[in-house]
Chains A and B, each alone.
Chain A
Amino acid sequence: MPTLTADRVEAVLRRGGSARVDDHVAPRFREGQRVLARNIHPRGHTRIPRYVRGHHGVIHRDHGVFVFPDSHAGSGDPRPQHVYSVRFEAAELWGPDAGGRDAVYVDLWDDYLEAAP
């Protein structure tokens, strides 16, 4: 097992721990496309917040390809895929009491999303 010695600490901290990877994976969605956050309840680790599940949003931006946390936390399988900033209207998430001009942007992986009409 490699040991983190004092002389390596600064370099390791500066490098950080990005989950971005160089794999070439085709995006399943494009910017501006309407999507549905899947209504899933995995027993293991997941990064999809409960409050977006089952709700519609729009792909705002494609961040690129990242390790998929759900499989990576389980078996260690990186299953690289695109992550998008998805815009949800506040009223879509919180109902009619939400501010009419408010929106929430959530970073979501390809496997959390389905195409929506």
Chain B
Amino acid sequence: MNGPHDLGGLHGLGPVQPESNEPVFHAAWERRAFAITLAMGAHGQWNLDQSRHARENTDPLTYLSQSYYEIWLRGLETLMRERGMVNEAEIQTRMAELSGGES
């Protein structure tokens, strides 16, 4: 698809800004998002290319306003929803629990 992930040649994004001693994860939730993605991938319900497509297959406004691991998490939700492994109510319930301070 001619999606927002194909950035080659796009102007206006500014230079790449490398961080010295860049950490693998920039926040604790990113570590968790990555771990959950690997753990769910082990179920064998999708392949690598399907997971890539789930990340890129969204509207450009959403894609370009999300951080790397936000994109990963949204892609994982999509893959799991499509296969009936999680539903919207379960996600909303958990979001409410988390916003109440539970971890």
B1 to A50, Cβ gap below 8 A?
A: no
Q: Kindly list chain A residues whose C-beta atoms are within 8 Å of the C-beta of B50.
A: 45, 72-73, 76
- Cβ of A4 < 8 Å from any Cβ of B? yes
B6 to A49, Cβ gap below 8 A?
A: yes
Q: Which of B16-24, B35-43, B60-68, B91-99 sits within the interface?
A: B35-43
Q: Would you list which residues of chain A between 61 and 103 have a CB under 8 Å from chain B?
A: 67, 69-70, 72-73, 76, 93-94
B interface footprint on A38-75 (CB within 8 Å = 1, 0 otherwise): 00011111100111000000000000000101101100
- Cβ of B31 < 8 Å from any Cβ of A? no
B49 to A67, Cβ gap below 8 A?
A: yes
- Cβ of A12 < 8 Å from any Cβ of B? yes
C-alpha spacing A50/B6, complex, angstroms: 7
Interface size on B, residues (CB 8 A): 20
- Can you show 27 pairs from A to B with CB atoms below 8 A apart? A1-B45, A2-B42, A2-B44, A4-B41, A4-B42, A12-B38, A19-B48, A44-B53, A45-B1, A45-B49, A45-B53, A46-B1, A49-B6, A50-B2, A50-B8, A50-B9, A51-B8, A51-B9, A67-B49, A69-B49, A69-B52, A72-B49, A72-B50, A73-B49, A73-B53, A76-B50, A93-B9
In the complex, besides A2-B43, A3-B39, A72-B48, 19 extra interface pairs with C-beta distance below 8 angstroms are A1-B43, A3-B42, A4-B38, A4-B39, A9-B38, A13-B38, A19-B48, A44-B1, A45-B52, A45-B53, A45-B57, A49-B6, A50-B2, A69-B49, A72-B50, A73-B49, A73-B50, A76-B47, A93-B9
